[in-house]
Structure 1
Amino acid sequence: MGHGASSLSCFSLHHVSQAEKREEELSEFDLEPALHNFLDMNLSSLYISPTDFTATLPDECLNTVFQKLSTGDRNRCSLVCKSWHAVEAQGRQCLALIANAEIMSYLPSIFTRFDHISKLALRGDRKVEGISDDALFLIGRYCTNLSKLKIKACKQITDEGIDLFVRVSGGTLRKLSCVSCNFGSRGINSIVEHCSVLEDLTIKRLRGMVDGPSDFIGPGQGTIRRLCLKELSKAQLFGPLIAGSKNLHTLMICRNSGNWDKLLDIITEHVQGLVELHIEKLQISDRGLQAVSRCSHLEVLYVVRTRDCTNIGLSAIAEGCKKLRKLHVDGWSPDFTGDEGLAALAMKCRELQEVVLIGINATTVSLDLLASNCLNLERLAICNTESVGDVELSCIAAKCGALRKLCIRGCAISDQGMRVLAHGCPQLMKVKVKKCKGITWQSAAWLQRHRPPLVLSLDCEVPEISSTPRVAEVVSDDASNVTSIPPTPRSPLAAMKLALAAGGSFVACNRRWRASSQGS
């Protein structure tokens, strides 16, 4: 042992001495010339030329690339070099600004750089002072190509500021949206008078018309094709503007005060080419719907939460508006029984493609007519009615051959009713079932097993883990409704995976379980 230890010690000392000698030799050797020679010989292929190959790229091509980028990436690319900075500015057509008061001093430099802006959004802050009339005038002076403008929560803008702005740049303005502003009817009259090509006008929560006397909004140039009036206390002052817009295509009047029966009578007498109409939370009755029935070219109709409308009004719509393609009816009144009016619509409006019924007490009588006569019906939603159950769902599945999307919400359907969708509606792609107490997630699993391509969305509860065995209801493959079996205790995820083992696509909205046909 002693001899071995001494040999090991000598071996170690010998190598240590050799290492020290090698270190002294390396310290005396100059590595710098050798390193330069190595880089010259082996790294010449990695030499990067200072030539900018994008310099020969046409500005149009570079601008096309910039348009494919997100806003953040585009802003960063504009700082790469002077040429990119100039090309990006020339190609920028859309701009959104936080319209606070301190931005006024920067407006000349902003619009000197972005001199091709055609779409501009000015968003104010309720807690901070916004831009003034002078700033709005500067914007109109610099933006000579402005075609779309959105002004939101700019409280410091008055009628005088709007008048100055439209006199400067109103000749090119085609779309204007004013939300939560403080100017009134004088400013709106200036807009419709000086904007000679204005086609789209949206007015929401215009506080300048709340207090004090207000003037009627005149017809102006008569070029408006889309008009949206929401949450206005004196929206009826827009009557002359609506009646004078002979080319009006879309009218949206939502949550406005006052009785609209007489006004709708006047409007439809002058404007009969209306194609799309949205009525929401207005004080109208069947008389108002009878006035709407004059619009023989109407294709899209929303009647939402109108308390005084009944089946009489719906029947009048069916007689006059036979070109309807999209119909949304929210029966917020107990008198809106629905079956009679829906049956009239089904017999007369045979071009319907989308129907949404909320609170309408439809039965197999009207649903059978709807499925038999409207052969192009692709989207159907029935919500918040106890009259629709398994029998009505069976009628839909048997006769709606073109149906692609179905939504059932708050109805009296059960697992047995879900089984009929396995072989009905051959074009069906998506089904949503919400707030239906008779539906369990086991029926969804059964449906996915028999129809894997179907996308199903439910909000039913997934069973929780329990220490004691519980009885689970699952839909059987035979003619019986349900069979009770004692399951083995599993976690909710394991239970869901087991139920979806046959494939398909399933969404349980309450817990957001998802399984694709490949994954399961």
Structure 2
Amino acid sequence: MCPNLTRLKISDCEQFTDSGMAVFTKNCKELKEFSCAYCRFSDLGHLINLALELVGRSFVLEVVIKLRNVFNERLFTPLISCCKNLKSLKMIWCGGKMGRALEKIRDGNCLAEVYLDNVNVSDVGVSSLAKCRDLIELNIKSSRCTDVGLISIAENCRALKKLYVGHYLYRNEIRDEGLIALGKHCVNLEELVLIGVNATYVSLEVIAANCQNLVRLELCHIDTITDVEMMCIVEKCAALKILRIEECGVSDNGIEALGLGCPNLVNLNVIKCRKVTREVGDLLREKRGSLVVKVDAYKTTVVNPITLELVSTRSRPSENSG
């Protein structure tokens, strides 16, 4: 055994048994990072012992737990809830009712990063993260989070700097109410990625006005993001450096307006917005030569003037060399 082992990652180890975990727990006293994927443990497994070992190590500055494709929340709940030094928690494609594990997180924890990717977590589980007062980065790729969960996070996790919320495949129920709470309480926000939410000018104005340190903004798959919302970004997001607009309701006018605002913008990515053409990218480069612009226009249908046939075309991505 390696007594000085600080990081352990096990993947596809279906024969890694409880007795093996027991030996590992007993001998690896310096463990700081534990990652598990596609593994099987019985309900009598020694993950509880591992949790108790991690709890008892007051000298450990931080602990990282990563779980991928695991399906027994009962086994991992003690590991998540008991470890006072847990700094980062990542769950990816985990089945079962992992929200129950989040509900057991205790007050006074030091969690700074939580990553939930396709995990069965509802507002109850998300609201449990409100106990993480030191939370800096939160990533929720789920369709079950609503304004209720987001408001709870916003009101209690005021140190939050990076938030990624939404899902590419499914619409969720996050609307202006939750985003307004975010803008009011999380004024230190630096990065915001919204996917498939129902954001409008009403909430964007609050976020843009209060979050003066916002340097990265991504708005994806949001029909309610139009030229009106773009003007809000242009006028109020002075610190913005990176902007991504994907499959939104903006037009050339909204994109071209960026030439008049966002003085610190260095990278603009516009993808598959039906009302945006690649020509607007050329116009922006003329106005702001230092701005890296990529415009990937949506597929359109035109008439061939010779054969009078309908021809399906797709503009190639227009990108300056920087």
TM-score normalized by the length of structure 1: 0.55
Aligned to 1:181: 13
CA contact (8 A) 2:295 2:317 kept: no
* 2:221 partner SS: strand
Q: Which residue of 2 aligns with 1:442?
A: 279
Distance in 2, Cα, partners of 1:467 & 1:343: 48
2:47 to 217, 228, 231: 217
C-alpha distance in 1 between matches for 2:250 and 2:210: 24
Confirm whether residue 205 of structure 1 aligns to residue 205 of structure 2: no
Gaps of 5+ in 1: 1-167, 470-508
Q: Per-residue deviation at 1:187?
A: 2.8
Does residue 325 of structure 1 match 2:161?
Answer: yes
CA offsets per residue over residues 457-486 of structure 1, 9 Å max, x none?
A: 1212699999849xxxxxxxxxxxxxxxxx
- Asked if the contact 2:245/2:269 (under 8 Å) is kept, the reply is yes
Distance 1:365 1:374 in 2: 15
CA deviations 1:206-255 (Å, max 9, x no partner) are 1x33xx65425121421561000110122430222222321111001122
8 Å CA contact 1:184, 1:214 repeated in 2: no
Residues 129-183 of structure 1: per-residue CA shift (max 9 Å, x gap): xxxxxxxxxxxxxxxxxxxxxxxxxxxxxxxxxxxxxxx32x1101111111221
CA distance in 1, matches of 2:236, 2:290: 20
C-alpha contact (below 8 Å) 2:43/2:75 kept by paired residues:
no
Contact 1:229 1:235 (C-alpha < 8 Å) held by counterparts: no
Code of the residue aligned with 1:217 in structure 2: it is: L
The question of 1:277 aligning with 2:109 is answered no
Match of 1:433 among 246, 249, 270: 270
2:80 paired residue number? 242
2:313 pairs with 1:313: no
Which structure carries more strand by proportion?
2
Residues in 1 aligned to 2:37 and 2:147: alpha-carbon distance in whole angstroms: 31
Report the CA distance shift for 1:463/1:313 in structure 2 as closer, same or farther (over 3 A). closer
Tell me the secondary structure at the aligned position of residue 247 of structure 2.
strand
Cα RMSD over matched residues? 2.6
Total equivalences in the alignment = 306
Relative distance call for 1:514 and 1:296 in structure 2 (3 A) is closer
Q: Which structure would you say has the larger Rg?
A: 1
Q: Secondary structure at the match of 1:411?
A: coil
- Map of 1:126-165 to 2, 5 A cutoff? none
In structure 1, distance between residues paired with 2:173 and 2:302:
44
1:416, distance to aligned residue in structure 2 (A): 1.0
Instruction: Give yes or no for the alignment of 1:456 onto 2:293.
Output: yes
Equivalent position amino acid for 2:153 in 1: I
Amino acid at match of 1:364: Y
- 2:136 maps to 299
Q: Which runs of 5+ in 2 are unaligned?
A: 55-59, 307-313
Q: What is the distance in 2 between the residues matched to 1:235 and 1:419?
A: 49
Q: Does the CA contact (< 8 Å) of 1:326 and 1:354 recur in 2?
A: yes
Q: 1:214 to 1:255 in 2, by over 3 A?
A: farther
The match for 1:351 among 180, 183, 188 is: 188
Deviation string, structure 1 residues 300-327 (Cα, Å, up to 9, x no partner): 00111142x2101110001110000000
Q: Which ranges of 4 or more aligned residues in structure 1 deviate by more than 3 Å?
A: 331-335, 461-469, 509-517
8 Å CA contact 2:292, 2:319 repeated in 1: no
CA–CA distance in structure 1, aligned partners of residues 227 and 36 of structure 2: 44
Aligned counterparts of 1:220 and 1:250: Cα–Cα separation in 2: 17
Match of 1:48 in 2: none
Change beyond 3 A, Cα 1:513–1:395: closer
Q: Which residue of 2 aligns with 1:267?
A: 105
SS of equivalent to 1:343: helix
Structure-2 change in CA distance of 1:217 and 1:510 (3 Å):
farther
Structure 1 Cα separation of the partners of residues 320 and 212 of structure 2: 33
Contact 2:18 2:46 in 1 (8 A): yes
1:232 equivalent to 2:55? Answer no
Give, in whole Å, the separation in 2 of the partners of 1:189 and 1:336. Answer: 43
1:403-442 matches, within 5 Å, as 403-442=240-279
How do 1:32-51 and structure 2 match up within 5 A?
A: none
Q: 2:129 corresponds to which letter in structure 1?
A: V
Q: What amino acid is the match of 2:83?
A: S
Q: Distance in 1 between matches of 2:299 and 2:100?
A: 53
